[in-house]
């Protein structure tokens, strides 16, 4: 028995030394999966395509955004005029107190010569400055809409209300030049199918304690 084991051991050693490695035949090669590789490549292509699509979308969005930003904004009112900055120094130099009186009647004059008096309507005196002159030229004479008025202006206006006969009166008016402004509401009596607000303005000046009588009127064509 011992002899047989020795013979077997010697035979094994001789076989190994001969260069025939039995373990080489039993090595399992690394598996190759062509489908998986194709799928990975396909995923990369899809990913690349997605990136390209996303880039195109971003470029399109940027193009749309740029187009929107560059397009002019259209407003319903094409005659809107921006007011000049409020001239604080100019208003600060105006007289604060006075003793003049401005009185008269406010009415519309129809084509037949009839006077339609403005009853219980608000009137005001607006000092003549670069700020109010812009309004007079652009809005009253030119008919344009203007941007929002600076609220500081109301500190320099004088108000009154006409009576039922259209008579008005301003007391204690400081010396200076003013735009006398009022609104006449007129409907069928002026030949209109519905009531309209007719704005009327006149430039006036007062000095010292004078009493100035003025008719604030507008002819209806």
pLDDT 10s digits, 124-140:
999 999 999 999 999 99
Give burial (CB, 10 Å; 0-12/13-18/19+) of 87: middle
Distance of CA 214 to the CA centre of its chain: 42
Three-state secondary structure call for residue 135: helix
Contact in structure between 160 and 169 (CB atoms under 8 Å): yes
The full length of the chain comes to 221
Average pLDDT over residues 192-221: 94
Average pLDDT over residues 94-117: 95
Q: How many CA atoms lie within 13 A of 183 on its CB side?
A: 8
pTM of the model: 0.64
């Amino acid at each position: 028995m011992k002899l047989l084991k020795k013979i077997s051991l010697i035979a094994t050693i001789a076989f190994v030394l001969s260069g025939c490695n039995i373990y080489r035949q039993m090595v399992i090669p690394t598996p190759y999966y062509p489908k998986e590789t194709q799928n990975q490549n396909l995923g990369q292509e899809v990913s690349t395509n997605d990136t390209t699509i996303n880039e195109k979308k971003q470029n399109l969005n940027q193009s749309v955004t740029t187009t929107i930003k560059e397009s002019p904004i259209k407003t319903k009112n094409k005659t809107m005029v921006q007011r000049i900055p409020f001239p604080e120094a100019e208003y600060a130099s105006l007289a604060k107190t006075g003793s003049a009186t401005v009185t008269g009647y406010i009415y519309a004059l129809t084509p037949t010569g009839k006077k339609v008096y403005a009853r219980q309507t608000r009137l005001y005196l607006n000092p003549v400055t670069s700020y109010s002159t812009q309004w007079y030229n652009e809005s009253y004479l030119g008919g344009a809409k203007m941007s929002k008025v600076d609220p500081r202006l109301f500190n320099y206006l004088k108000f009154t209300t006409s009576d039922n006969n259209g008579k008005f009166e301003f007391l204690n008016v400081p010396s200076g030049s003013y735009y006398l402004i009022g609104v006449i509401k007129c409907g069928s009596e002026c030949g209109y199918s519905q009531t309209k607000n007719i704005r009327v303005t006149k430039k006036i000046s007062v000095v010292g304690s004078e009493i100035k009588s003025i008719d604030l009127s507008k002819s209806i064509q």
